[in-house]
Amino acid sequence: MVDSSTLTKKFQKEMNAGIASLVLLSVLDMSDEPMYGYQIAKLLEEYSGDASFMKQGALYPVLHSLEDNGLLESKVEPSVSGPPRRYYEITSDGREMLVTWQGVWKQMKSFVDRAIKGG
């Protein structure tokens, strides 16, 4: 058997693929103003507590992909210190999609819970 931590990492990564999109959309949906990557990462760090579910660097490609699909919008603004920041905001398409995805997540969650407990 491959060592268990490698397998666990792989398992984690595969689960994250879809969940990251749902989480990022939700965070931006609840935020009153556009957020930049580091801000989002910080907020997620608070939610996850000590456990770290995914590397912060992996959030960015997901943000780009959500933007490509029209679910997010972004603009670059100069910052006082350091390089310009890209601020992300959810679009109305994104909000609609989020409602659907939340539904999918709920069904999925109850299905997985039942499968784990066995009925």
Burial 29-65 (b: 16+ CB within 10 A, else e): eeeeebbbbebbbeebeeeeeeeeebeeeebeebbee
Among 22, 29, 31, 37, binds other proteins (CB under 8 A): 37
Query: 84 is written with which tokens?
Result: 């310009």
Q: Is the dihedral of CA 30, 11, 109, 69 positive or negative?
A: positive
Alpha carbon distance 14, 49 (integer Å)? 21
Among 55, 95, 109, 114, binds other proteins (CB under 8 A): 55
Among 83, 92, 113, 116, binds other proteins (CB under 8 A): 83
Among 12, 61, 104, 108, binds other proteins (CB under 8 A): 61
Does residue number 56 form part of the binding site for other proteins (CB under 8 A)? yes
x-or-dash string of contact with other proteins, 3-22, rule CB under 8 A: --------------x-----
Among 3, 33, 82, 92, binds other proteins (CB under 8 A): 82
Query: 6 is written with which tokens?
Result: 């490698």
- Span 85-114, contacts to other proteins by CB under 8 A: 85-86
Alpha carbon distance 116, 67 (integer Å)? 35
Positions that interact with other proteins (CB under 8 A): 17, 36-38, 41, 45, 52, 55-58, 60-62, 64-65, 67-68, 74, 76, 81-86
